[in-house]
A and B are shown apart, each in its own frame.
Chain A
Amino acid sequence: MYVIVVYDVDQKRCGRMLKLCRTYLHHIQNSVFEGEITEAKLEELKVRAKKVMKEDEEDSLIIFKSRNEKWLEKEIVGADKKPVDNIL
């Protein structure tokens, strides 16, 4: 499955969320990630994210799911800072 993950957490926890998400997905913009992921790995990410977040302080994580990258039309306006690529 192909996902886009967006988070909005308090500044104090931003760094930890960034580091966590980076181990699963490609960082494309501040607090925005995308990439191919398996269902199990996404569950794992959610569990670990919940430990970082404080839900009563209005921290949130939004996941956009897509069956395949093919069904996602991506348009970049301006600079493409971090291309998602597995050939470095």
Chain B
Amino acid sequence: MKQNFYIFNSGRLKRQENTIFFEKEDGSRSVIPIENTESIYAFGEIDFNTKLFNYLAQKGIAVHIFNYYGFYSGSYYPRETLNSGQLLVKQVNHYTNRNKRITLARAFIESASFNILKNLRYYNNRGKDLGGVINTIEGYSSQIASSDSVDGLMGIEGNIRNAYYKAWPTIIDQEIEFERRVKQPPDNMVNALISYLNSLVYTTCLGEIYHTQLNPLISFLHEPGERRFSLSLDLAEVFKPIFSDRIIFTILNRQQISEKDFMTEVNFCYLNEKGRKTVIKEYDEKLKTIITHKKLDRQVSYRHLIRLECYKLVKHLIGEQEYEGFKIWW
């Protein structure tokens, strides 16, 4: 399996000797094996040049760039090599046809709420009293099937998330101030973690979409806005409970992260470099975790699950097999 590379130091990234060299400011350099690179995450202050981008495009490697505070700013998305006009037409068709779009949007929300419930049940079985929340969310998710507009679905999704977040102080053993989700900017530790991890999930989904014929701009649940790859938001919805929420619970309960890993001097709560590294390490491990796939009967990594999800979507679009969102089976 190819690796992701995360660069926190400042320096220069360049093509040399047919691979990538990262030169730190102090002159020391590390070599990144290009044949073994999935994508590069740039957190530090890094110089790039076009020669490097040309080479990365040739190898199909995306670069995701994050700003000083660790917020996602954008991706270098190399030229599409897997193009399919036919599929694009079908994808657009599924967006413009109301019924077809709702079917897909429903499938995304359904599996997202299933995965959320799975998380809650897991902690419920470990002596945390979450029965009330589980009932509330089950109530909301029973409305999914009857909802007939995308806005309605988004509303249900919002309600589910709100109820879910209310349960977080019970799940997390550390003393946290977390009542509701606040973005732009996050106002406390947990919100900062959610923002950070969600942006990572989002980039991973984008990277996997790149390796399929799907067009990342046309989405079904989220409105295909301008300036962002909204299909990866749709996919991220399904995987957020597994990747980002579970990591947050684990690292906080294991005391791997505490208030000192955040920058609080500004009113907001950003992760500092040490905190970011801890989270990245967990995230990378998570992506590499290997499980046996029930249907395929072979070993796959968590990251590969996202790719399989893309394939299922393709199959749905070309009318080969009905799409059914990913549901945790373990």
Contact = CB atoms under 8 A, between A and B. Distances in A.
Interface of A: 19, 22-27, 35-38, 41, 44-45, 82, 86-88
A41 to B, nearest CB: 6
B17 interface: yes
B13 to A, nearest CB: 10
Interface in B1-43: 1-9, 17-19, 22, 30-36
21 contacts: A22-B17, A22-B31, A22-B33, A23-B18, A23-B34, A25-B33, A26-B33, A35-B33, A36-B1, A38-B1, A41-B35, A41-B36, A82-B30, A86-B4, A86-B284, A87-B8, A87-B280, A87-B284, A88-B7, A88-B8, A88-B32
B27 to A, nearest CB: 15
B277 interface: yes
The interface centre, meaning the residue of A26, A37, A86 with most chain B CB atoms within 10 A of its CB, is: A86
B281 A25 contact: no
A45 B34 CA distance: 12
Given A19-B19, A36-B1, A88 B35 contact: no
Interface of B: 1-9, 17-19, 22, 30-36, 277, 280-281, 284
A62 to B, nearest CB: 19
B2 to A, nearest CB: 8
- Which 9 A/B pairs are nearest by Cβ-Cβ distance? A23-B19, A19-B17, A24-B35, A88-B7, A87-B6, A23-B35, A86-B3, A86-B5, A22-B31
A3 B36 CA distance: 13
B19 A22 contact: yes
A88 B30 contact: yes
A35 B5 CA distance: 13
Nearest to B280: A87
B284 A23 contact: no
Given A25-B33, A35-B36, A38-B2, 15 more contacts: A22-B19, A22-B31, A22-B33, A24-B33, A27-B31, A35-B33, A36-B3, A37-B36, A44-B35, A82-B30, A86-B4, A87-B281, A87-B284, A88-B22, A88-B30
Contacts of A82: 30
Contacts of A44: 35
A88 B33 contact: no
Nearest to A87: B6
B38 to A, nearest CB: 10
B84 to A, nearest CB: 24
B17 A88 contact: no
Contacts of A26: 31, 33
A11 to B, nearest CB: 18
A36 B1 CA distance: 7
B35 A87 contact: no
B36 A24 contact: yes
Contacts of A38: 1-2
